[in-house]
């Protein structure tokens, strides 16, 4: 897959081999033949990283700079994607073959940087790819965690968290930029100074931390643009090194300071859409906000200082957009004001208006427990000067609210920043933004109608929707090489640059020879996955089975439990009714649960226990199999999506903001079995009811059920002791206990919460929908047609489309 007009990275395979071997020698002082596979990978990645950094690009341009602030960038392995973007994948593949190590084996050596939890972090990475592809000046600003999200192992069916030492063997894509380090200050006291009329504040004492950036080049498709992902690392500021302790020989004391500071960039918090109450997290948030903004303003001043003179800062929003990914960077508003007012001597009102013109905010969840809040005391102690700005903005905000309108007290209680002793970060984000967006049509509707309703009433113009998207180049082009080749052979390579061209596949949906090739590609992907799963878990899967997949973070609202109930129902029915013969199916799960999320971890243990029972029972194991793939990551996801027949997207309606694995799976030709939730709604609109299977309560029905207050989940249990009741009994009657015990806590949770996540409520609708969908698999022709149709309609979900919308509506740039 070569692109036209690509810069000449390698003339041909021979040229590539020469450069590759030179790189091997310059890095390791050994010949290619003397190196092991990892070292060869490392040399190859270093060669490509060097080319990315030096790629001939359009050069400096005056267009707006977008800074995407995100605590997470789940970038995944870069090598294969950069070969695709440089248009040299075929040359490199041929060269590697000639040298004797298949490219795939080198690609597989790459560590997967675990710098994100799940969808939110991966979205940020897809956006970086699309901004570069579209030629936007898109800069990422994030954290360089020394240890990524934990590595998940399974022992006795349980998730065990291991350290993810992703930097152990080096990260060839990054460059440390000592000269760009900045100082970030925590704690201390605010001191007021006065000189005649003029007064100002400084923050004295406290702790000074040096933030050092590591830059990763982000290579756009076609290599026309290279952007930077800047990741910050915390180090002690030299002047604060405890020299006294050091000199007096108290190394432990001197070093403790060091490790306290370094702790700030040590770990990624493993909570996905969950609680973040730790001070260290607040420090992380402030560090990357402050360090990022300091360098942004420095760059801007250098570039525009002469042009604008006194009016310099008023123009910031014309040239700079700061986009805040969720509330984690919510301090961008007050921090920008602090720098402008305290350091650049801009007046308060101007600074606020500049901040608001520059900053925009994306909300990613309506789950109440995921909306960040910090105790005022903690906040003020850590960031005394910043807190003064927040307090003043909150005071002015309250003043501007019309006191005489009905419901004023309610509006205030919902929208004020400071409330009940807490700093509410979502409200802070909204008040400092000129744009607030949700991530699917449905989600944005819920923000307007409930989560942020009072803000919406006050400022409807702030709100807009930007339905999420995914990097189609990575998740189809790289991940599914056989299908991608088939698509290229049919419609050319244009779809890599313009995903809408995938619609040209519609004319092949019914084409028998295309369908045959599609099946072959799918079979190859299923074999590849089956091999991976066997090596990782020892579980053997038959690739003639339907591959039914649910891969995502473990969370009650995503309802992996509902999926397990369905599998247990199938198990029971096969055993009790010899005439019952479901479509032979392999149920594949993957995903991590937060360390402290007991319920989610028990669901993982349940899946592994069901797997043990089902896979080991010859009465059923030719009809159903269950596999749990440990340590879900971008790299393993890329093996799973292309092998999937049924995509499980079964969150209760109104809970999943968007979902993005639904898009990745659809694009790879999986059929969605889903609720009318998040972006499933839009998938349904695009592919039509015949090419998706929707089940369960709709959002309005869920709302009505909750409002009515007359749902008694245990009635369902009592009324059906044959199917649903039996499954619930099996949680505690020993059926599943062999591996590591019963599941009382899951049963208790269902009963105590009165089935909060509607697992029992949606059960029948779900199992019926699955039965029908799995039966439909038997008509291979109709199935393949629907599968190819899903790919053909998936162009809309390219993050290129999403980013064009952000650029046009929020950042106000042409792309």
Which secondary structure element, helix H or strand E, spans residue 162, and what is its range? strand 158-162
Which secondary structure element, helix H or strand E, spans residue 604, and what is its range? helix 598-615
Q: Are 241 and 68 in contact (CB under 8 A)?
A: no
List the interface residues with ligand GPK, window 644-663 (CB under 6 A).
656-660
Q: Give the C-alpha separation, 203 to 669, whole Å.
A: 57
Which one, of 246, 236, 186, lies nearest residue 211 by Cα? 236
State the Cα torsion 282-284-285-290 to the nearest 10°: 120
Which entry of 473, 573, 664, 804 is annotated as an active-site residue?
Answer: 664
Q: Give the C-alpha separation, 73 to 287, whole Å.
A: 16
Residue of the chain from 43, 96, 297, 370 that contacts ligand GPK (CB under 6 A): 370
Task: Centre a 10 Å sphere on the Cβ of residue 642 and count the other Cβ atoms it contains.
Answer: 27
Which one, of 441, 282, 309, lies nearest residue 376 by Cα? 282
Q: Are 578 and 625 in contact (CB under 8 A)?
A: no
By CB under 6 A, the count of residues binding ligand GPK is 19
Could you give the string, one character per residue 257-276, with x where binding to ligand GPK holds by CB under 6 A and - elsewhere?
---------------xx---
Q: Cβ closer to ligand GPK: 364 or 761? A: 364
Residue 678 binds ligand GPK, judged by CB under 6 A: yes
Residue of the chain from 338, 364, 583, 804 that contacts ligand GPK (CB under 6 A): 364
Q: Cβ closer to ligand GPK: 10 or 68? A: 68
Residue 245 tokens read as 């302790």
CB of 62 to ligand GPK, least distance (A): 31
CB of 638 to ligand GPK, least distance (A): 18
Residue 182 binds ligand GPK, judged by CB under 6 A: no
Q: Cβ closer to ligand GPK: 585 or 636? A: 636
DSSP letter at 32 equals: G
- β-pairing verdict for 463-465 and 436-438: parallel
Catalytic residue list contains 553: yes
Could you give the string, one character per residue 122-151, with x where binding to ligand GPK holds by CB under 6 A and - elsewhere?
-x----------------------------
184, β-bridge pairs: 209
Q: Give the C-alpha separation, 359 to 357, whole Å.
A: 6
Which residues, in sequence order, are CB contacts of 387 under 8 Å at separation 6+?
A: 376, 379, 380, 423
CB of 430 to ligand GPK, least distance (A): 15
Q: Give the C-alpha separation, 408 to 406, whole Å.
A: 5
CB of 654 to ligand GPK, least distance (A): 12
Which entry of 558, 605, 761, 785 is annotated as an active-site residue?
Answer: 558
CB of 73 to ligand GPK, least distance (A): 12
Q: Give the C-alpha separation, 227 to 218, whole Å.
A: 5
- Residue 83 sits at the vertex; the CA angle it makes with 81 and 85, to the nearest 5 degrees, is 70
Catalytic residue list contains 660: yes
Which residues, in sequence order, are CB contacts of 266 under 8 Å at separation 6+?
A: 145, 146, 147
Task: Centre a 10 Å sphere on the Cβ of residue 725 and count the other Cβ atoms it contains.
Answer: 16
Q: Cβ closer to ligand GPK: 424 or 526? A: 424
Could you give the string, one character per residue 408-447, with x where binding to ligand GPK holds by CB under 6 A and - elsewhere?
-------------------------------x--------
Residue of the chain from 294, 365, 680, 784 that contacts ligand GPK (CB under 6 A): 365
Residue 786 binds ligand GPK, judged by CB under 6 A: no
List the interface residues with ligand GPK, window 41-60 (CB under 6 A).
none
Q: Are 696 and 669 in contact (CB under 8 A)?
A: no
HSE of 770 in the Cβ direction (CA atoms, 13 Å)? 28
Rg (CA), the chain: 27
Residue of the chain from 87, 113, 118, 674 that contacts ligand GPK (CB under 6 A): 118
Could you give the string, one character per residue 322-361, with x where binding to ligand GPK holds by CB under 6 A and - elsewhere?
----x-----------------------------------
Q: How far apart are the first and last CA of the chain?
A: 24
CB of 401 to ligand GPK, least distance (A): 28
CB of 451 to ligand GPK, least distance (A): 12
CB of 363 to ligand GPK, least distance (A): 8
- Tell me the window of 46-54, 111-119, 228-236, 504-512 that interacts with ligand GPK (CB under 6 A): 111-119
Which secondary structure element, helix H or strand E, spans residue 770, and what is its range? helix 763-776
State the Cα torsion 543-545-548-554 to the nearest 10°: -70
Task: Centre a 10 Å sphere on the Cβ of residue 179 and count the other Cβ atoms it contains.
Answer: 7
Q: Cβ closer to ligand GPK: 80 or 677? A: 677
Residue 592 tokens read as 């991590």
Q: Cβ closer to ligand GPK: 430 or 439? A: 439
Q: Cβ closer to ligand GPK: 272 or 749? A: 272
Q: Give the C-alpha separation, 89 to 16, whole Å.
A: 11
Which entry of 230, 364, 448, 801 is annotated as an active-site residue?
Answer: 364
Q: Cβ closer to ligand GPK: 574 or 657? A: 657
Residue 372 binds ligand GPK, judged by CB under 6 A: no
- What are the helix (H) ranges across 231-278? 243-247, 251-262
CB of 225 to ligand GPK, least distance (A): 24
Task: Centre a 10 Å sphere on the Cβ of residue 807 and count the other Cβ atoms it contains.
Answer: 21
Q: Cβ closer to ligand GPK: 341 or 561? A: 561
Catalytic residue list contains 664: yes
Which entry of 93, 466, 552, 761 is annotated as an active-site residue?
Answer: 552
- Tell me the window of 74-82, 87-95, 114-122, 806-814 that interacts with ligand GPK (CB under 6 A): 114-122
Q: Give the C-alpha separation, 526 to 79, whole Å.
A: 23
List the interface residues with ligand GPK, window 377-396 (CB under 6 A).
none
CB of 289 to ligand GPK, least distance (A): 17
Which entry of 228, 660, 675, 735 is annotated as an active-site residue?
Answer: 660
- Residue 742 sits at the vertex; the CA angle it makes with 739 and 746, to the nearest 5 degrees, is 125
Catalytic residue list contains 364: yes
Q: Cβ closer to ligand GPK: 123 or 254? A: 123
Residue 115 binds ligand GPK, judged by CB under 6 A: no
Task: Note the residues at the interface with ligand GPK (CB under 6 A).
Answer: 117-120, 123, 272-273, 326, 364-365, 370, 439, 468, 656-660, 678
**Residues belonging to the active site:** 364, 552-553, 558, 660, 664
């Amino acid at each position: 897959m070569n692109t036209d007009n690509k810069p000449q990275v390698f003339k041909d395979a021979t040229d590539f081999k020469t450069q590759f071997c030179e790189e091997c020698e310059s890095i390791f002082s050994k010949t290619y033949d003397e190196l092991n596979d990892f070292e060869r990978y490392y040399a190859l990645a270093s060669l490509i990283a060097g080319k990315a950094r030096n790629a001939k690009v359009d050069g400096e341009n005056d267009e707006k700079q977008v800074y995407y602030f995100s605590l997470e960038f789940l970038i995944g392995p870069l090598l294969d994607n950069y070969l695709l973007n440089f248009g040299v994948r075929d040359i490199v593949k041929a060269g590697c073959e000639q040298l004797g190590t298949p490219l795939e084996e080198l690609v597989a050596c790459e560590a997967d940087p675990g710098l994100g939890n799940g969808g939110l972090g991966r979205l940020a990475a897809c956006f970086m790819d699309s901004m570069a592809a579209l030629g936007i000046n898109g800069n990422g600003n994030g954290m360089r965690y020394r240890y990524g999200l934990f590595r998940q192992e399974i022992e006795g069916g349980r998730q065990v968290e291991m350290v993810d030492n992703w930097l152990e063997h080096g990260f060839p894509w990054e460059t440390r930029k000592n000269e760009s380090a900045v100082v970030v200050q925590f704690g201390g006291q605010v001191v007021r100074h006065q000189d005649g009329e003029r007064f100002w504040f400084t923050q004295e004492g406290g702790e000074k931390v040096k933030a050092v950036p590591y830059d990763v080049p982000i290579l756009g498709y076609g290599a026309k643009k290279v952007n930077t992902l800047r990741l910050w690392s915390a180090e002690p500021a030299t002047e604060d090194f405890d020299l006294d302790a050091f000199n007096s020989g108290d190394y432990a004391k001197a070093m403790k300071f060091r490790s306290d500071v370094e702790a700030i960039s040590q770990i990624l918090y493993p909570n996905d859409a969950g609680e973040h109450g730790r001070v260290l997290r607040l420090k992380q948030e402030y560090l990357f906000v402050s360090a990022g903004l300091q360098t942004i303003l420095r760059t801007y001043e250098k570039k525009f200082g002469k042009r604008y003179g006194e009016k310099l800062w008023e123009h910031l929003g014309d040239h700079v957009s700061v986009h805040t990914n969720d509330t984690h960077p919510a301090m961008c508003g007050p921090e920008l004001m602090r720098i402008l007012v305290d350091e650049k001597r801009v007046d308060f009102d101007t600074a606020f208006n500049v901040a608001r013109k520059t900053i925009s905010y994306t909300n990613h969840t309506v789950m109440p427990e995921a909306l960040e809040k910090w105790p005022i005391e903690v906040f003020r102690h850590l960031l005394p000067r910043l807190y003064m700005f927040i307090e003043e903005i909150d005071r002015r905000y309250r003043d501007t609210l019309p006191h005489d309108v009905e419901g004023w007290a309610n509006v205030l209680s919902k929208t004020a920043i400071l409330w009940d002793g807490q700093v509410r970060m979502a409200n802070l984000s909204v008040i400092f933004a000129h744009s607030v967006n949700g991530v699917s049509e449905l989600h944005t509707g819920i923000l307007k109608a409930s989560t942020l309703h009072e803000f919406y009433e006050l400022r409807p113009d702030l709100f807009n929707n930007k339905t999420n998207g995914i990097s189609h180049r990575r998740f189809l082009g790289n991940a599914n090489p056989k299908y991608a080749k088939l698509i290229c052979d049919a419609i050319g390579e244009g779809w890599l640059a313009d995903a809408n061209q995938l619609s040209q596949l519609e004319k092949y949906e019914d084409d028998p020879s295309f369908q045959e090739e599609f099946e072959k590609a799918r079979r190859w992907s299923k074999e590849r996955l089956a091999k991976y799963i066997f090596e990782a878990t020892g579980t053997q899967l038959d690739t003639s089975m339907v591959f039914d997949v649910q891969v995502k973070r473990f969370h009650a609202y995503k309802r992996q439990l509902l999926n397990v109930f369905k599998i247990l129902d199938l198990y029971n029915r096969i055993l009790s009714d010899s005439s019952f013969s479901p479509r032979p199916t392999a149920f594949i799960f993957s995903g991590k649960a937060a360390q402290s999320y007991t319920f989610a971890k028990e669901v993982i243990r349940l899946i592994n226990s069901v797997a043990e029972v089902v896979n080991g029972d010859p009465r059923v194991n030719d009809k159903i199999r269950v596999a749990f793939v440990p340590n879900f990551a971008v790299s393993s996801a890329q093996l799973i999506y292309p092998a999937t027949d049924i995509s499980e997207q079964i969150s209760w309606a109104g809970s999943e903001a968007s979902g993005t694995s639904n898009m990745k799976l659809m694009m790879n030709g999986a059929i969605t079995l889903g609720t009318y939730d998040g972006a499933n709604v839009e998938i349904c609109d695009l592919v039509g009811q015949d090419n998706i299977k929707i089940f369960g309560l709709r959002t309005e029905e869920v709302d009505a059920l909750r409002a009515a207050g007359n749902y008694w989940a245990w009635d369902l249990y009592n009324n059906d002791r044959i199917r649903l009741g039996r499954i619930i009994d099996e949680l505690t009657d020993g059926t599943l206990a062999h591996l590591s015990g019963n599941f009382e806590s899951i049963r208790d949770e269902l009963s105590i919460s009165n089935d909060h996540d509607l697992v029992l409520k949606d059960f029948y609708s779900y199992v019926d929908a699955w039965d029908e969908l799995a039966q439909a698999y038997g008509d291979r022709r109709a199935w393949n047609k629907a599968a190819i149709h899903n790919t053909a309609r998936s162009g809309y979900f390219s993050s290129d489309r999403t980013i064009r919308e952000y650029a046009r509506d929020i950042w106000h740039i042409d792309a």
